[in-house]
Amino acid sequence: MSSSPVDRNRLWSRLDDAVAKQGVPLPTPVFVVDLDAFDRNADDLVRRAGGKPVRVASKSLRVPVLIERALAQEGMHGVLGYTLREALWLQQQGICDDIVVAYPTVDRGALAELLASPAALAAITLMVDDPAHLDVVDSVRISSSEQVRVAVDVDAGLRVARQHVGPKRSPLGDVAAVLRLTREISSRPGFRLVGAMTYEGQVAGVQDAVPTSRARSAIVRRVKSLSINQLAVRRREVAAALADVADLEFWNGGGSGSVEETAADPVVTEIAAGSGLLVPTLFDHYRSFAPRPASYFGLPVTRKPTAEMATVHGGGLIASGPIGADRLPTPWAPAGLELTGLEGAGEVQTPLTGPSAARLEIGDLVWFRHGKSGEVFEHATTVHLLAGDEFVDSVPSYRGCGQSF
């Protein structure tokens, strides 16, 4: 989708028409997912993965129906979850029976639940990078007969001299460190090593074609290319060493911004992706794919502080990460609206300026895009699904299901 002003104004009419067709006033914020864009993004991710399955990163959706919709797509398989409690819930709800929890857990209550359920033990894989993660599991075990599926998270950062560029997560940075942990896993009854993961966040999650910062984008592209080359060697070495120790079911890698580069590595058997389905603003401006935004929230204009301005109710749905303007939501439709420097996106009210603000009237809806993908739905209980020009369903988010992970 292009983000031209014409397209954004067309989107404004389309969304407003869909709201009007509902016939009843919708509570605001009105959270909307455009299914046409979502499905095309799903096709695109599968195409980019070049035949390797895409594992759905659920943190970037947080709406059960959307997770199911992605899983129904040919070429997508399994969930990359973000907490063990979430994984247990997805398994209990029958939403997925192949869930890799991408981040280590020390949640003893959830582990006790996992150990008590043969179905959950068969469906869920825990991520580990330290013997302490195994100790926590053992601390709640009653017997060693419960086989816990584990995967090792191998650091995928770029090392240049003493610098490390990439997510600061796993201490397993070389073959020796990985083998130390895998020997520990093999020596303990009740654990089965089934997979490995390398998440190259410095490639998958950093914009590299930002029109307003060309020099920085050029540096990012250089870092990405160095990372891919260095990581290919590390993956190959670790995989060769692991082949003598375990028969791995999967090697997970990548994210929405690196699908084709990660898929090109023969060691990787599956690609993780989530943000590429909804395409929040932090996933605009990637060289590797054309964004097709699929998620919006509508806020009503409630005040006109001056004839040239409009103030909407709500707005401060800020994305996590390093503080910066890119973490703010973006007034998207109609085109030609800006946040103010003084108030930004406010807790209860958000003033808007720009050429379109003058034509906004009290009661109009302004449609925003969030910086991040699933995180926006932590503010939502209900999400309206748009197909063509109308809402075809209204579905609960995790929050709407009474869940907060």
Ligand X SMILES: Cc1ncc(COP(=O)(O)O)c(C=O)c1O
In the complex with ligand X, the residue whose CB is nearer, 41 or 353, is 41
Report d(CA 272, CA 168) in Å as an integer.
Answer: 18
244 neighbors 236 (Cβ within 8 angstroms): no
How would you class 101 by CB atoms within 10 Å of its CB: exposed for 0-12, middle for 13-18, buried for 19 or more? Answer: buried
The residue from 83, 262, 275, 356 that contacts ligand X (CB under 6 A) is 275
372 neighbors 282 (Cβ within 8 angstroms): yes
In the complex with ligand X, the residue whose CB is nearer, 83 or 373, is 373
Report d(CA 34, CA 37) in Å as an integer.
Answer: 6
The residue from 38, 89, 191, 199 that contacts ligand X (CB under 6 A) is 199
276: phi then psi, degrees, rounded to nearest 5: -65, -10
Which amino acid would we find at residue 90?
L
- In the shown chain, the binding pattern of residues 97 to 116 toward ligand X, with x for contact by CB under 6 A and - for none, equals -----x--------------
Per the listing, tokens 């910086």 go with 371
- 251 lines the binding site for ligand X (CB under 6 A): no
Q: Which residues pair with 191 in a beta bridge?
A: 148
In the complex with ligand X, the residue whose CB is nearer, 182 or 198, is 198
84 neighbors 114 (Cβ within 8 angstroms): yes
- 280 lines the binding site for ligand X (CB under 6 A): no
Contact region with ligand X (CB under 6 A), list: 85-93, 109-117, 199-207, 212-220? 199-207
In order of 66, 67, 105, 221, 258, the CA distances from 206 in angstroms are: 24, 24, 26, 9, 10
Contact region with ligand X (CB under 6 A), list: 85-93, 128-136, 198-206, 319-327? 198-206
Which 42-61 positions form the footprint of ligand X (CB under 6 A)? 57, 60
CB of 354 to ligand X, least distance (A): 30
In the complex with ligand X, the residue whose CB is nearer, 62 or 85, is 62
- 276 lines the binding site for ligand X (CB under 6 A): yes
Side-chain-side CA neighbours of 218 within 13 Å: the count stands at 4
Measured from each CB, the residue nearest to ligand X is 255
The DSSP secondary-structure symbol of 26 reads: P
- 332 lines the binding site for ligand X (CB under 6 A): no
Interhelix angle for 108-115 vs 84-92, to 10°?
Answer: 40
The residue from 91, 202, 256, 311 that contacts ligand X (CB under 6 A) is 256
The DSSP secondary-structure symbol of 307 reads: T
CB of 57 to ligand X, least distance (A): 4
CB of 273 to ligand X, least distance (A): 4
Q: Cβ of 326: how many Cβ atoms within 10 Å?
A: 15
In the complex with ligand X, the residue whose CB is nearer, 274 or 354, is 274
The residue from 78, 274, 280, 314 that contacts ligand X (CB under 6 A) is 274
The residue from 204, 279, 294, 335 that contacts ligand X (CB under 6 A) is 204
Q: Give residues in contact with ligand X (CB under 6 A).
A: 57, 60, 80, 102, 199, 204-205, 255-256, 272-276, 373
